[in-house]
Amino acid sequence: MERTLIALWFADIAGYSAHAAEDESGALGLIEILQELSRETVPHYRGRVVKFVGDAVLAQFPSTELAVRAAIGLSASYRERSAATGRARNLRIGVHLADVAVAPDGDLYGDGVNAAARIQEAAEPGQVLISQDVWRQLRGRRQFRFEHLGDRSLKGIGVISLYVVNVENDGTRVPASSITRDRRPSEKATHAIRSLAVLPFADLSADRDQEYFGDGIAEEILTVLAKIGGLHIPARTSCFAFRGLNLDARDIGQRLGVEALLEGSVRKAGHRLRISVQLIDARNGFHLWSERFDREIADVFAIQDEIASSVINALGLSGSQRDKRHLVKSSTANVEAYEFYLRGRKLFQKWTRQNIGLGREMFERAVAIDPNFAAAWAGLATAHVHLFGCDNEPHLEKAREASARALKLDPESAEAHVAAGQGLSMEQRYADAAAEFERAIELDPTLFDAHYYYARSCFKRGDLEKALHLFQQAQGLRPDDYQPLYLEALVLTQLGRQDEAHEAYQRALEFTNKYLDLHPDDARSYVLGAGALARLGETAPAKEWAERAISLARDDDAILYNAGCALAVVGDEERALDALEHAISAGLAGGDWVPQDPDWERLRGHPRFEALVQRLDRRKRVSE
């Protein structure tokens, strides 16, 4: 493990165990306050929260002065915040300077870590204790006041001189203003950063029911940053895969192939909103800057804009590389409608019929509150497209109406043009669909969905060269997404370019395995991975993955269809036809996709297969 000299401290809540025995719920609230304040305070002083352990926190800093100022600031802020809840408590903090071992996951090991913990245990409630090594670094600085406690014998450490430290004024506390801003990172620190991942914002709301809201804010910022020239931003699916994982920033950066991370937290209470954000250098784990926004919830759109602008400024991107107008554009000013829209989008991204149906309901509630909300109408149109075939409702007609409404409200909405194109493609009006997709790409060349669904439309109409080009463009926009790569391989197979197809399947499988490492229960990853394995001649794993996907989503038509494809390729004909039949019963509406799909080649002419294709064709004609 790498070794490095750092300042570090341990902090814990004085008297926590006794309080927890009397009031467990209140004690957990005290831990939440400590964790939230630590996430805000430590980055403010260019530090890194290493880990939380029960009611304690371990943090590291690049200098002893920053460590001590952070400790004093955290202590004061915690006393004030806990008192406001009616459960006033103090922290005990021990600061040390030591040579430590840094594990690959970012954890710290060594005698110095143990010493900091023992120093913290020696502190009285409300005290910040420092070791003699820290005191030697700070003793000549007039702003600090020290009280020598003499030598103390600490268990497992030995005899060590300890000092209580304070500052002449309370300026070390993280201000409680509407925006708390750390200094801008130096040009030296950020000049080489040209890749950034936006991680999901943690939900710190009391009921932990605002994940959709934090995700929505993070995704809006990600979408804006992805449009900035010269800045590589991994896709949402890749970034959000790290939700809840206790990994070091350097590890996440290495896995995503980025030099910096943007992470944050959201706390929503009534009409108030607190958003904390930090920019972290993934090359060394240190924070570059942080900001905290305490606003009315109605200011959420302005906050998103400010965060995106701050990131762009912090990375030193020139004015010519960004829009001078508002970066985050919202087609509603109604926060309640926006919240329903975010709920709908969150549900839609789970990608099952049931969740798409629930997402549709959220979009409907959004447009009921604000009938002029173009993005919600576009979301509603997309939901109807994907619900086509699952029941007798005229989903394509409703998709046309919703997309038309979205485009009337915002003719320059690329998302609305994509929604219109998807509906037209489902109706096999391919020329009209192409016009919508082309317009979407013209409006936003970085929009993944425009290229991806245009490619699918071209595949269905038999324009394979065009489909291949568009899938490759989609892959370029999301280099770590396995889905366009898998479909690129499918097109190459249909074109007879077997060597290229083989290579594409191998790369798709590599990305799929990476995704499954973080999402071991994702049915779509398993089923598309099964298709890649089948094409690579891995029969037994292909069958295993196909069956695993079916077990995870027994009623999902897309999962059942793709499982059938994989099983057909490996020669398990009856099981493949069972899967296809179940997919049709579950609502599959792929009458124009199946004739082009090379996975069914060996079953063409099979009586049962042809009967199922005719059944799909009848469903298509009934819907017209």
2-167 has which CATH code? 3.30.70.1230
- The total of other beta-carbon atoms located within 10 Å of residue 21's CB is 9
Q: Which residues contact 442 (CB under 8 A, 6 or more apart)?
A: none
The angle that helices 64-84 and 24-44 make with each other, rounded to 10 degrees, is: 140
Say how far apart CA 209 and CA 236 lie, in whole Å: 20
Question: Cα–Cα distances in Å, from 232 out to 194, 257, 272?
Answer: 6, 10, 33
pTM of this prediction? 0.66
**Can you give the pLDDT at residue 328?**
52
Largest CA distance in the chain: 92
486-624 has which CATH code? 1.25.40.10
Which of 288 and 119 is assigned the larger pLDDT? 119
Say how far apart CA 597 and CA 583 lie, in whole Å: 15
Of 395, 430, 403, the residue nearest 419 (C-alpha): 403
Phi/psi-derived region of residue 46, left when phi > 0, alpha when psi is between -120 and 50, beta in every other case: left
What's the pLDDT tens digit per position in 333-371?
A: 788 898 899 898 888 877 777 888 899 999 999 999 999
Q: Which residues contact 585 (CB under 8 A, 6 or more apart)?
A: none
- Each domain of the chain, given as residue ranges in start order, spans 2-167, 179-321, 486-624
Assign 51 to helix, strand or coil: strand
Which residue intervals of 522-572 are DSSP H helices?
A: 523-535, 539-552, 557-569
179-321 has which CATH code? 3.40.50.10610
Which residue intervals of 315-429 are DSSP H helices?
A: 335-348, 353-369, 374-387, 395-409, 414-426
Q: Which residues contact 131 (CB under 8 A, 6 or more apart)?
A: 94, 95, 96, 97, 115, 119, 160, 161, 162, 163
Q: Is pLDDT of 565 > 90?
A: yes
Query: Which of 216-220, 328-332, 342-346, 358-362 is most confident?
Result: 358-362
pLDDT band at 11 (very low <50, low <70, confident <90, very high): very high
| Phi, psi angle pair for 604, to nearest 5° | -65, 130
What's the pLDDT tens digit per position in 486-542?
A: 999 999 999 999 999 999 999 999 989 988 887 788 899 999 999 999 999 999 999
Per DSSP bridges, beta strands 91-102 and 128-131 are parallel
What's the pLDDT tens digit per position in 431-455?
A: 999 999 999 999 988 889 999 999 9
Measure CA 134 to chain center.
Answer: 39
**Can you give the pLDDT at residue 563?**
96
